[in-house]
Amino acid sequence: MEKTPMMVDQRIVARGRYYAGQAGSIFYRALRDRGALLASRCKRCARVLWPPRTTCGRCFSQLTEADMVPVGPGGILETFTRVAYAEPMHPRPAPFYYGIVKLDGADTGMAHMIDVPDGTEPAIGMRVKAVFKSERKGDILDIRHFIPE
Protein backbone atom coordinates (compact mmCIF):
# COMPACT_ATOMS: atom_id res chain seq x y z
CA MET A 1 0.00 0.00 0.00
CA GLU A 2 1.40 3.39 -1.02
CA LYS A 3 1.87 5.83 1.90
CA THR A 4 2.66 9.01 -0.02
CA PRO A 5 0.10 11.75 0.70
CA MET A 6 -2.07 12.73 -2.25
CA MET A 7 -2.60 16.29 -3.37
CA VAL A 8 -6.17 17.00 -4.47
CA ASP A 9 -6.96 20.17 -6.40
CA GLN A 10 -10.61 20.88 -5.70
CA ARG A 11 -12.75 23.98 -6.24
CA ILE A 12 -15.95 24.41 -4.26
CA VAL A 13 -18.59 27.03 -4.97
CA ALA A 14 -20.51 27.66 -1.76
CA ARG A 15 -23.86 29.37 -2.15
CA GLY A 16 -26.53 28.93 0.44
CA ARG A 17 -29.00 30.37 2.86
CA TYR A 18 -29.03 30.00 6.60
CA TYR A 19 -31.06 31.15 9.56
CA ALA A 20 -29.16 33.99 11.21
CA GLY A 21 -30.65 33.20 14.62
CA GLN A 22 -32.12 35.59 17.15
CA ALA A 23 -29.05 37.78 17.67
CA GLY A 24 -28.00 37.65 14.02
CA SER A 25 -31.47 38.69 12.84
CA ILE A 26 -31.42 41.77 15.09
CA PHE A 27 -27.85 42.56 13.99
CA TYR A 28 -28.63 42.32 10.26
CA ARG A 29 -31.86 44.34 10.53
CA ALA A 30 -30.03 47.14 12.38
CA LEU A 31 -27.25 47.05 9.78
CA ARG A 32 -29.73 47.11 6.88
CA ASP A 33 -32.19 49.65 8.24
CA ARG A 34 -29.94 52.06 10.16
CA GLY A 35 -26.36 51.30 9.20
CA ALA A 36 -25.85 50.46 12.89
CA LEU A 37 -23.39 47.93 14.28
CA LEU A 38 -24.56 46.05 17.36
CA ALA A 39 -22.78 43.81 19.85
CA SER A 40 -23.88 41.84 22.93
CA ARG A 41 -22.72 42.98 26.38
CA CYS A 42 -22.49 40.18 28.92
CA LYS A 43 -23.81 41.31 32.30
CA ARG A 44 -21.85 38.67 34.20
CA CYS A 45 -18.32 39.11 32.79
CA ALA A 46 -18.79 42.54 31.12
CA ARG A 47 -17.36 41.43 27.74
CA VAL A 48 -18.79 43.04 24.63
CA LEU A 49 -19.09 40.47 21.84
CA TRP A 50 -19.15 41.53 18.19
CA PRO A 51 -21.02 40.29 16.26
CA PRO A 52 -23.78 39.80 18.83
CA ARG A 53 -24.68 36.33 20.05
CA THR A 54 -27.07 34.67 22.46
CA THR A 55 -24.45 32.99 24.68
CA CYS A 56 -21.25 34.42 26.14
CA GLY A 57 -18.33 32.22 25.14
CA ARG A 58 -16.43 32.95 28.36
CA CYS A 59 -19.00 32.50 31.13
CA PHE A 60 -21.88 30.91 29.15
CA SER A 61 -24.43 33.52 30.26
CA GLN A 62 -27.52 33.81 28.11
CA LEU A 63 -27.65 37.11 26.19
CA THR A 64 -30.83 38.76 24.89
CA GLU A 65 -31.82 41.71 22.74
CA ALA A 66 -31.80 43.83 25.92
CA ASP A 67 -28.05 43.14 26.17
CA MET A 68 -27.28 44.63 22.74
CA VAL A 69 -25.23 47.81 22.53
CA PRO A 70 -23.92 49.91 19.62
CA VAL A 71 -20.23 49.59 18.71
CA GLY A 72 -17.90 51.16 16.13
CA PRO A 73 -18.01 52.12 13.32
CA GLY A 74 -14.29 52.65 13.92
CA GLY A 75 -11.90 50.12 15.37
CA ILE A 76 -8.50 48.49 15.34
CA LEU A 77 -7.13 46.06 12.77
CA GLU A 78 -5.87 43.13 14.86
CA THR A 79 -4.43 41.03 12.01
CA PHE A 80 -4.81 40.63 8.25
CA THR A 81 -4.00 38.45 5.27
CA ARG A 82 -3.68 39.19 1.57
CA VAL A 83 -5.86 37.06 -0.72
CA ALA A 84 -3.87 36.73 -3.92
CA TYR A 85 -5.98 34.24 -5.87
CA ALA A 86 -9.47 34.33 -7.32
CA GLU A 87 -12.20 31.91 -6.27
CA PRO A 88 -15.89 31.98 -7.23
CA MET A 89 -17.00 32.39 -3.62
CA HIS A 90 -14.86 35.47 -2.95
CA PRO A 91 -16.90 38.65 -2.53
CA ARG A 92 -14.52 40.63 -4.78
CA PRO A 93 -11.76 40.06 -7.32
CA ALA A 94 -8.29 39.27 -5.99
CA PRO A 95 -6.02 40.61 -4.75
CA PHE A 96 -7.66 41.98 -1.61
CA TYR A 97 -7.17 41.93 2.15
CA TYR A 98 -9.18 40.24 4.89
CA GLY A 99 -8.61 41.34 8.45
CA ILE A 100 -9.92 40.90 11.97
CA VAL A 101 -11.44 44.20 13.12
CA LYS A 102 -12.13 44.88 16.79
CA LEU A 103 -14.63 47.72 16.81
CA ASP A 104 -14.54 50.55 19.34
CA GLY A 105 -16.48 49.38 22.37
CA ALA A 106 -16.09 45.66 21.55
CA ASP A 107 -13.82 43.05 23.15
CA THR A 108 -13.87 40.64 20.20
CA GLY A 109 -13.15 41.04 16.52
CA MET A 110 -14.66 39.82 13.30
CA ALA A 111 -13.23 39.12 9.84
CA HIS A 112 -14.00 41.50 7.03
CA MET A 113 -12.44 43.04 3.95
CA ILE A 114 -9.88 45.81 4.38
CA ASP A 115 -9.42 48.37 1.59
CA VAL A 116 -6.22 50.41 1.41
CA PRO A 117 -4.82 52.76 -1.25
CA ASP A 118 -3.03 51.05 -4.15
CA GLY A 119 0.58 50.27 -3.44
CA THR A 120 0.07 50.07 0.34
CA GLU A 121 -0.89 47.32 2.70
CA PRO A 122 -2.71 47.35 6.03
CA ALA A 123 -0.80 47.45 9.31
CA ILE A 124 -1.63 45.59 12.49
CA GLY A 125 -2.88 48.10 15.05
CA MET A 126 -4.04 50.67 12.50
CA ARG A 127 -7.33 52.50 13.03
CA VAL A 128 -10.03 51.59 10.51
CA LYS A 129 -13.66 52.53 9.97
CA ALA A 130 -16.58 50.80 8.31
CA VAL A 131 -17.78 51.90 4.88
CA PHE A 132 -21.42 50.96 4.31
CA LYS A 133 -23.22 50.33 1.04
CA SER A 134 -25.79 53.01 0.22
CA GLU A 135 -28.38 50.34 -0.61
CA ARG A 136 -28.24 47.68 2.09
CA LYS A 137 -30.09 44.36 1.97
CA GLY A 138 -29.39 42.77 5.35
CA ASP A 139 -26.17 40.77 5.06
CA ILE A 140 -22.57 41.21 6.19
CA LEU A 141 -21.61 42.66 2.80
CA ASP A 142 -23.73 45.71 3.69
CA ILE A 143 -20.40 46.68 5.24
CA ARG A 144 -18.55 47.20 1.95
CA HIS A 145 -15.15 47.11 3.68
CA PHE A 146 -13.06 48.87 6.32
CA ILE A 147 -10.66 51.67 5.38
CA PRO A 148 -7.91 53.45 7.31
CA GLU A 149 -9.25 56.32 9.43
Beta bridge partner(s), residue 52: none
Residue-level pLDDT at 17:
77
Q: Using the predicted structure, report yes or no on whether residue 6 has a pLDDT greater than 80.
A: no
CA distance 129 to 58: 27
- Could you read off the pLDDT of 27-76 as tens digits, one per residue? 999 999 999 999 999 999 999 999 999 999 999 999 999 999 999 999 99
Q: With bands split at pLDDT 50, 70 and 90, how would you rate the model's confidence at 127?
A: very high
Residue-level pLDDT at 111:
96
Nearest to 126 by CA among 58, 67, 80, 93: 80
- Could you read off the pLDDT of 97-120 as tens digits, one per residue? 999 999 999 999 999 999 999 889
Task: Identify the helix (H) or strand (E) that includes residue 81.
Answer: strand 74-83
Q: Using the predicted structure, report yes or no on whether residue 13 has a pLDDT greater than 70.
A: no
The mean pLDDT value of the chain amounts to: 92
Residue-level pLDDT at 14:
67
Nearest to 66 by CA among 86, 38, 93: 38
Residue-level pLDDT at 83:
95
